[in-house]
Structures are given as C-alpha cells and as structure tokens.
Structure 1
Amino acid sequence: MAFETAISGLNAATTQLDIASNNIANVNTTGFKQSRAEFSDIYTGSNLGVSSLAVSRGVRTAAISQQFDQGNVKSTNNNFDLAINGGGFFMLSDSSGTVYSRAGAFGVDRSGFVTNNAGQQLMAFNVDTAGLASGTPVPLQIDTSDVEPKASGSVTIGINMRATAAVVGIPFDSTVAGSYTNSTSMTFYDSLGNSHNGVLYSVKTGVNTYDSHLLVDGTEVTPTAGGVITFGTDGKILTPASGVVAYDPFAIAGAAPLTLTLNYSGPTPTTQYGDTYSVNALDQDGYTTGRLSTISIDETGRVFSRYTNGQSRQMGQLAMANFANPQGLRQAGNNAWIETFASGIPLVGTGGSARLGTVQSGALEDSNVNLTEELVKLILAQRNFQANAQVIQTEDRVTQTLMNLR
C-alpha cells in the first residue's frame, strides 16, 4: 500500500516540476500566463465499514489551472505592438478557426493583413460612416492605397474688419494696393488634387459696407448674388443674412469646375470691431491626394490611418472577447487559447466595454511568471520527490525484513 501511495506522490512532484519548469521557460514569452498544479487526496473507501479508519491512497492532480492576472506592460516603438490593460483577449483567425490571445506582437503581411508571427490574423469589426463598429468580426486589413483628392467647396472665414478703415475711393484693381482695404490668401484644390492660389479682397465702399472680390489664380470669380457684405451697429454681419456668399463655377482645364461657397458666419464669425484687422479662422474642405503615413490605434481599439495630406480614416475597430470562465480555455500553442464547454461562449465586444480591458498601442504585455516564486516551487517539488522516494526505500526495507524471517 505504501508503495502505491509513494508512487502517487512521486507523480505529483513530477507534475509540479513540469509546471514550474514550463513557467520558468516562458518567463520572457509575451502574453504568457503561468499555470499552477492543484492536488487532492485519494480515498478508496473505509476499513471494515468504519469510516473513521479510512486510509488515504495518496494524491492525484486535480487540475492544472492558469492564472490570468495582469502582466507588466512594456512600451515599444511599434504601433502594431498591442497590450490589453484589464480583462479579455485578442481574437485571431487561422486555418482551424478562431483562437484567443494576450500576445499582441503584430505586423502587416504582404497582403495588408495584420498578423502575428504564427500567421494568425487579427480580427476587427467593420465601421460605418459614423465610425461605429458593426457586423461580424473579420480579419483586419490595412488599405495602403492613396486617398483620392477632394475639390474645395465650402470655405469658412472668420476675420475682423477694421471699423475705422477709410472708404476706398478708386476702382478695385488687385495690382493696385490702394484699391482695396485688406486681403487674405488661401489655397484651393480642384477635383484632381491640384492646388490653386486664392486671394480674397475686401473693399470698404461705405459706412459698414464692403465689396468682396475673390480671385483664383489671378482671375476673379463672379459671385452668384452680389458679394456685398454689410455690418450692423453692433459689429456683426447684417447682410447677407445667412453670412454665405456663393460663386459661379470656375472653369479649370482638365478638372471639374470649382464651385465655391464662402461662409462668414461660422463658429468664428466675421465681425467689424475696433481698429485692428485680423484673420481669426480660415478653413476649407478640399485636399490633395495623400499617401499613407502612419497607423494609430486608440484605447478602444479603433484603427486609424493617417495620410500625408492631413486626412485620416478609420479602418476598423479591434474585436475582443472574454469568457465567463477563462480558466476553462484550452491552450493551443503559439500563445493562444481556444474555447471549450467549460469556458463558455466568447463574449465579444470592443475595448473598454463590459468586462473588456483597454488597448495600449506601442506596448506589449510581459509574462506574469514570478521567477523567484517558481524557483521556490522547484525546491519544494524536489523535496517532495525526495521524501516520497524515501517512503519507497523504507517500505522496501520493511518488506525485506519480513522476507528474512525464518
């Protein structure tokens, strides 16, 4: 009997050694979660029906459970290195289906898919025009094509006219400095992304009254209606009532005609105050073509591509998952797990929602193995092994004594 009990103890000590050695081997593995052995004693029944005389038959490994506590987060210089602060897993796709991982060392393959070093593709939600995640997660693919240009159309202008400026008494001529009160330059873009020089001239023709003249590449553009701006005694625009001046289409060789609308009543409206002329706001909605510059990922997992023309696009939002019982997940290798009946079905969402942690770009989560603790476990497992081996030796000597009786 003692032989069997001691053998179970040797097996348990060996299991403990195996687990500790695996933890130590993965002390530098990104996203690795340490395991621990959980043991229970064995009883095979009572002696002669008296439960108080029941004798244990040894020990068995009841479970090998993984510890999903947070590992240290280490900063890197790669935007595609991702760490999760809190609960949850990245969703990855491979030939066998969907797997889950805390290891966030990703890159872009030749087809533009975001993958790890095992070739597993990072999953993300598609986003609608409002940037909201929707649908079923799909492999995240980075679009490296250029952004098509957008022709200028709406221009927002916020300037302050000098209330004490003198009335101009000569006809407007852009080449004559005294024929206008002030001027403001800007850049417009046509449908092909080519830039065009624009200059807006203001000519004070009377008390609180200005004529506006818009020139594109030196040629004046005709306003659809008037182009006269007047101010009230409070310094605010009186006419046009909407604060908007529209212009006739301006022909451009090889491109679509440029149709411009100038809005003087934007968030920073045009006024006539004091004795200082100032340009407080100047913005237009056109841009030239742009090449992909950088990829950034925010804490909720939204993936943005930024371009050389200053534009940005949201390419998707990372899909993350958590489980009712993460310890029920089965290890699949390559720092990944797969769901089981014990883990429950994946609870899929986006970073920072429900029980899902936030995403940190440019960082990796270290292994949560405590090396000192594992070395102590090795010593304890060695002692346990030696003690059980001593039991076998003792039982052997007792058996030999009985066999030597005459």
Structure 2
Amino acid sequence: MRALSIAATGMNAQQTNLEVIANNIANINTTGFKRARAEFTDLLYQVDRMQGVPSRANASLVPEGVSIGLGVKTAAVRNLHIQGNLISTGNKFDLALTGNGWFQIDGADGETLYTRSGAFNTNATGQLVTLDGYTVQPNITVPADTIEVVVNKSGEVFARIDGQVDLQSLGQLQLANFANEAGLAAMGDNLFTETPASGPATVGVPGDTGFAEIQQGYLEASNVDPVKEITELISAQRAYEMNSKVIQAADEMAAVVSKNIR
C-alpha cells in the first residue's frame, strides 16, 4: 500500500525536523549562533487521471484529475540570520555587531572565514584573534605597554599607551556582507565560509549604509527562542505520531485483506 511508504517519508521528515530543533536548543548559549529551520516540499505525484483532457464522449473537458502525492522530503535547512540580544561582558576585546555584517577571520589554510561571534582576545604577539587563535582581518596588533583599548562604533581601534596622553590608532576593522546570508556554509566553531549560493563578500566599514555598528564590551547572544523551540518540538512530535498512526492503520487494513484472501 502506498500509504505505508508515504507515511514513512513523513516520519523521516519529522526526524530531520527534530534534529534541527535539538541543535538549536543545544546552542541556546552559543555566542552569535543563528537558529535553523527545516524546510519541506512534497514529492512527485502519481497521476491516475489528468485534468483538462476530453471526456469519453469528447463533449467536455475533465475539470479535475486524480493525483496522489507520494510523500514529503527535506528541501533545505535554513539558518535564520536574525539579530540576537546583546550581553554586556565588560571585556574590552569582546565586540558585538548590531545590524548586518560579519567579522572576517584568517582560516588555517589562508581562506577567509566569517563569524558573528566577537569573542576576541590577543595572542602572544598582541594580534587580535578568535578563541581558537585565528587572526582577525584586517590585522590589529595591540602594543605590549597598552593600558586601555578603545573600539568605536565605526570599527576604529585605539590604544592608550602607558605614559602617553593621546590615543594611538591601531587600525580599522572591516565587515563583510553577502547578498544571500542563508547560502553561507557553516564550518563549526562559529565560523562560516563563502559559497556560490551566498555570493561574493562585499567589504565595508562598520556604520556605513547596510553595515552593522560595533559595540565594545558586548557579545551577541544566540537568537534561539526557548519558547518557540519547545513549541516546534511538540509540533514535530505530534506530526511524527500521526504518521506512525497512518502506518499502523495501513498495516491493519492490509492484514484484513490478507485474512480474506486466505
């Protein structure tokens, strides 16, 4: 019976949906994390009678046909790049973005990676780096005798050197934007990479039109909404149960037919 295989595709789809929700909940405290949502589409249809064809007497057209859907499939798992709340940390190297934009990071193989997580620090040579030691682009090096670091909303980085009154400019941070942020490929460790689907990066200065501003001493929290995720979880569970009921009903109907044949 087709109902068995159709319901099976529904159960597989809801299992995928549950896995996406589980990952969202697991990353509820991950800095800069963007929640994902599973998108589904229907499968091919088996056509037993076409609509719009002439009737037997060729007197009129058939207004409606007979098409039986064959189930559902997962079409995409979409990351929702919505602004997360800002959390004050008091750390001078923590930077949060308010608006569109991505920090640029030098990957291990020289590839440029992108992140919304501004949990930065300095390495042994004073370079601004991520928690995993990847350097931030453009390179910012903090002198060893720095007593204060100031990053304004436009991404300009200044240092107050011990014994000096005036601030010393250390450089200008830049951000990257993409035509399709959902097309970025997640690499783990809060890092993303450019793909043909995302389009090339457009680099600009924080605060310019279309680019986020920088907030020093803050981090962007995950945009996962616990209440929404629990609601989605219950919905996925009920959908899974309904598909299992269809399989049970189809099995019982098939059993009746088998008994009558015997």
* Shared fold, TM over 0.5: yes
Partner of 2:107: 94
Q: Is the 8 A contact 2:49 2:65 kept in 1?
A: no
For residue 120 of structure 1, the aligned residue among 134, 137, 153 is: 134
Distance 1:120 1:392 in 2: 51
Structure 1 residue 333 corresponds to structure 2 residue 185: no
Aligned partner of residue 43 in structure 2, secondary structure: strand
Q: What displacement does 1:69 show? A: 0.9
Structure 1 residue 300 corresponds to structure 2 residue 126: no
Aligned partner of residue 306 in structure 1, secondary structure: strand
Distance 1:52 1:341 in 2: 40
Aligned partner of residue 208 in structure 2, secondary structure: coil
Distance 2:82 2:245 in 1: 37
**Equivalent position amino acid for 1:310 in 2:** V
Q: Is the 8 A contact 1:8 1:58 kept in 2?
A: yes
Q: Is the 8 A contact 2:176 2:201 kept in 1?
A: yes
Structure 1 residue 53 corresponds to structure 2 residue 66: yes
Aligned partner of residue 55 in structure 1, secondary structure: strand
Q: What displacement does 1:3 show? A: 1.1
Distance 2:228 2:99 in 1: 23
Identity of matched residues, %: 37
Q: What displacement does 1:404 show? A: 1.1
- The answer to which structure has the higher helix fraction is 2
For residue 393 of structure 1, the aligned residue among 225, 248, 255 is: 248
Gaps of 5+ in 1: 125-138, 145-290
Partner of 1:63: 76
Q: Is the 8 A contact 2:36 2:79 kept in 1?
A: yes
Distance 1:363 1:331 in 2: 23
Range that drifts further, 358-367 or 310-319:
310-319
What are the equivalent positions in structure 2 for 1:5-404 lying under 5 Å apart? 5-50=6-51, 52-96=65-109, 97-124=111-138, 139-144=139-144, 291-308=145-162, 309-404=164-259
Deviations 1:330-373 (A, max 9, x none): 11101111111010000001101131110000000000000000
Distance 1:143 1:4 in 2: 65
Q: Is the 8 A contact 2:46 2:70 kept in 1?
A: no
Q: What displacement does 1:113 show? A: 1.5
Runs of 4+ in 1 over 3 A off after TM superposition: 48-51
**Equivalent position amino acid for 1:367 in 2:** S
Aligned partner of residue 197 in structure 2, secondary structure: coil
Q: What displacement does 1:76 show? A: 1.3
**Equivalent position amino acid for 1:118 in 2:** D
Partner of 2:55: none
Gaps of 5+ in 2: 52-63
Q: Is the 8 A contact 1:322 1:346 kept in 2?
A: yes
Deviations 1:236-271 (A, max 9, x none): xxxxxxxxxxxxxxxxxxxxxxxxxxxxxxxxxxxx
Aligned partner of residue 356 in structure 1, secondary structure: coil
Aligned partner of residue 7 in structure 1, secondary structure: helix
TM-score normalised over the length of structure 1 = 0.59
Distance 1:55 1:109 in 2: 62
Q: For this pair of structures, how many residues does the alignment match? A: 246
Distance 2:239 2:248 in 1: 14
Partner of 2:58: none
**Equivalent position amino acid for 1:399 in 2:** A
